[in-house]
Structure 1
Amino acid sequence: MTKMERYFEEDRLVLILKQVQNKNCITLTEIAEKLDVSTRTVRNDIKILNDALSDTAFIEGEQGNYKLYIVDLEGFEKKKEEIFKYNSYLDSPKKRMAYIFKKLLKSNGPYITDELAYEMNVGRSTINGDIKKLNEILGSYGLFIEGKSNSGISLSGLELNKRFFIMENLFNLIYFDENTDERIEKIVEDISKKYRFESMTQVAFKKAVVIMTDRVSDGNIIEKLPNKYYDIEKNNMFKVADETAEDIEKVFKIEVPIEERIFISIPIAGMRTPTNIEAVYQVGITEDIEKTIDKIIEQIEYELNLYLDKQNLNEEFFYHISFMVNRLKFGYLLKNPISLEIKEKYPLAYKMACIAGRIIEKEYDVEVPEDELGYITAYFGAYMLEYKTTEKYYRIALVCSTGRGTARLISTQLKRVLDKDAVLDLFADNQVTADILNKYDIIFTTLKLKYNIKTPIITVRDIFDEKEILLEIEKAKQLQKLSIPVAKTGGVSIIAALIDEYKFFLLDDEKSYMENTIDMIDSLCDDGFVDEGFGERIIKREEKSTMVFDKSIAFPHALNFSDDKIVVAIGVSEKGIKNDDGSCIKLIFLLALPENENQDDTVLVRIYDEIISIAQDENIVNEISMTKDVKTLVKNFIKLGIGSNL
């Protein structure tokens, strides 16, 4: 979304309050970037908010992180409602621009700007400034304000585009002082109940019906649509538009032609997938959507070596893709207020969503915006989490040299972070043997154990950081699958645990990305980590689709026939090596993946998550790129907390 388009979003105070309420903590910089203002402005707005919230709540920052503290929940909700209401009616550029747009929309001829200025009680320069800003925004919809101040201005562009602009930006501002006709309310409500529309779909549908009825009543009909829109008639849900149009015709004594019926059906054809999926079973999944999803699964497997079981993909995903394609084909935008948060929290799922987006763009000749990628990310994120929960139940041993009371304290803390089905057994140090401990999946201990055992061991203190222990548990589970001792490296990074002196490389700045990659492969091949054909497979993959990710990072990967475990190597360049596409690569993560269709992908998922999280932070990339040896690399991974935010 561009800076100009934010003129029609909620006011800053409302947005800031929503940000601090939705996130546990947030920095001034994050808020400022979201609102396109300075951190100084955000500080001033927070002061205003704190005054408005009075004694019910307050926003306070500590070490750069700001949090909302609620003192009186009931009082806070009332104050919040007052702030939202006040700001929605506050005089502002967006309110003036909405007024200008409405006047030009309703006018049968050119409108003199002096008349607008008089009606709005503002100066001519203010009006001209608002018109200039409005024109910048209208341009992306194929609309524009033309004419001169003294002879009059008018709104030009297609009727359909005018309606989309209203629906996506100005509906509440244009119709806020006009109560929706009760007859329209009744028609939409009855139809929504009949077809079990959820509230969001009902609201969007009502907007379309209100706009259509208003514009047709004024004689502004859609005379002709691009051919693709007539495909909506084939949709099973088009009968909803037909029924609604017939009711509108009877009540308002107007004729609703086919183009207008298509217009009001767009929010239905492109609705959000309802929670009650049975409500849309009658729509069905078309063959082309099935084929598109097959291609998405194939491409994700090809690019990431991750296999998605189509049978396990939630059926909501199929309907989501179907409705999303309709939205994109018919120009109906769906905003996603948490797309950035989802992208940051589920980096691998976002990468998968980007692959899906490319397939959809190619198949349907549409552009998939970030808002839609955010929704796809949510589905893949849910799939990955559900996939993780299917792991086996773990048997945990806790070995303590301390007294019974302290042992119970540690046990209680551990139970809070372990899976609910995990079995935790408590032992004194003189009760255990190597044979006993090897029967467990993970061992927690307060002392150094003298036994030589294969089970992952995690040392704990009497009182520990639960988040840190949770990450250690996750790391132990993943390393156990790779037969790597959990104590091999500190921190919680899987990559750091897999790297040793044979898999760390200083890149040659004078060579290209592929030349450096081949040098790394040759060395790994000489040491027996990859087979002789591995390099050729990397070259073929790179020729088909580049494995350079996010300009400064590349992660070439291919199947490896010389090992049944994942092999990870890293190459670093402080200066950066030039690539043919103009990117400057500082880190190469080389992955050799075992040929095993039944392989547990959770380790690979964790590795991808770490790589993508590194790529998202330029400072971390630069810090790692300056590393000169493997020991320093591991220290940097620990210091930078790689893997600790996943």
Structure 2
Amino acid sequence: MNLNKRQIQLILILVENKREPDYLPLSAKELSEKVKVSTKTIYSDVSIIQNYVSKFNVDLIKKPRIGIYIKGSDSDLLRILTGIEFKKNDDYLDNRTRRELVFSQLLNSDGFITVQELSDKYYVNRQVILEDIDDIELRLESIGLTLQRTSGKGIKLDIDEDSRRKILTQVVSRQIFNVVPTINERNLKIVNDNKLSIPKNLITSVDGILNNFTKNQNMVLNDYEYQSLLVHLLIAVERIKLGKFVKNEHWGSSTTYLTESKILAKELENALNIKFPKQEIYYIQLHLVAAGKKRTNNISTKLNTNDLLQNYLNDFGYDDQLYEGLLLHINSSLNRWKLGVSITNPYKDSIIQKYSYAFEAAINLKKLYEREYNTKINDDETAYLALHFEAYLERRRTNNNVIQAAIVCSTGLGTSQLLAARIKNDFSRVKIMKILSYDEYLKFDSKDIDLIISTIELPENNLPIIYVSPVVSTEELKNKIKMAIADNTSQTSDYSLFNSLISSENIMIDKVDNWENAISMLGKLLENNGVLRTGSIESAIQRENLSFTSFKNISTPHANPRYVKKTRIGVLKLQEPVVWGNQKVNLIFFIAFKENMDQAQLDTIYDRFWDILSDGRLIKKIISSNSSEKISDLLKGR
């Protein structure tokens, strides 16, 4: 016998009531108020619960004018609770999962769905479903769509098939790839069917067909191209089963990948007992062309130069790995961008939140390509570009942990070589880049050097210098180098750099009507305090229109560095939340960083900043604070 969530909740209430000393039976009215349903529903549920608990040698008693209570030994009650706990782990859905499923159900339905139908299906009361619908409606508004609500009929999403599939692509991708990064039968077994809007057996079947197809046709798809094509096929199969087809032929006049598209459609038809109409085959063709026209025997071994990318990276900084990675990614994506075929990135939100500096770099790069090719690149694509930048920044961070040193002595020979050998042996983090004579040192460009180790007196230098005897003891050498390394890295383990950006004078508590006004209000405060120049507010609003920086109940708008006078972080706590993208936000951090900030400093600041933003308890304390001084103290860890 399957219990719904409400019935499980009633059992837990009754068991908990029995455990209280001198407990009294609960009336149907009291129970109805606890689970927010009618007394009629309570009596119906009690009949079902009676049958369920009887299997455990437990009785559910209902006495007129007295109430309802549960009767049984502690051991038998424990057996019921244990069984319920397993059921909860298996069947219960968290809010986010349930909302995704409700959203996908709306997208798959052309007719009205009632709140009661959704309430019954997901074992929650009507109020919870109404809150889910409010959340979905907010998400739809952010992309210019509205949810149709009709009294007596329910809710309905009235959009064309193409739009329906584009949104479904995002929802289904999140459902599958947020839980299972690599699709295979073993991994999918850990995902319950009730957490997916598409059955697991269909996912594994289509995945197997697509995998064999790409091998047989010698096609090469990277991970996100493969995932995108898989999700498209899954949605196409589900919609075709419902008799819903794309309206346009989309491609039709081209023969590129048409033969391969027909082969793939036929394999799906044979395996799944469905029929792909002509326009759906053309739709597959569109996605194959968008994947990049690649075959294992026809891949260029040379990278084409790209002035647009090169010029941007000249300003940002790069290594060969970053340039080549971005170039390959962009070359394979250009077809997709030009054709307007979007790809879904299930890790987008995490990338935007965790790698904000890399995402900003990707945003600036994508603007160049949008202008150059008169196209639109969405946040999902931009987040993939950001991963290349983050990998590069991580390589730089790793390199930054190595102390690059030069040894200087009178001749650069003899004992200095011995000193270098001893350092290499005892200090894995110290890399000897050069051994210099005094004359060579005077002409030496030390821009890539972190530390000078010298056996002779040297003219003053901006770099740290430690002096040692050519035959210095190992202990003394260790102590001096350790002190130099500690000085070099002390900043990264200290919150003082982040704290220096926070001041109560740049923190305000107020109320606004929309997100644009929130940026304007906080921006004006920062302008008045000499942090920002005129033009910063407009640039921050333009930046938000490219990609909203909101997540959960927080937003982090940015000022363009050319409008920043002082590196600071402004804070606005709203008395009432405002809609910001597809979130409701009541805490805003206005990030104002000057141009050409040192990467090590940025890493230190962002590490501390994201520790704060991910600390839910701290954020709640900030939101409940009523003074700028208190918010400042909380951000500084006081």
Give the TM-score normalised by structure 1. Answer: 0.47
Rg (Cα) greater in structure: 2
Give the TM-score normalised by structure 2. Answer: 0.47
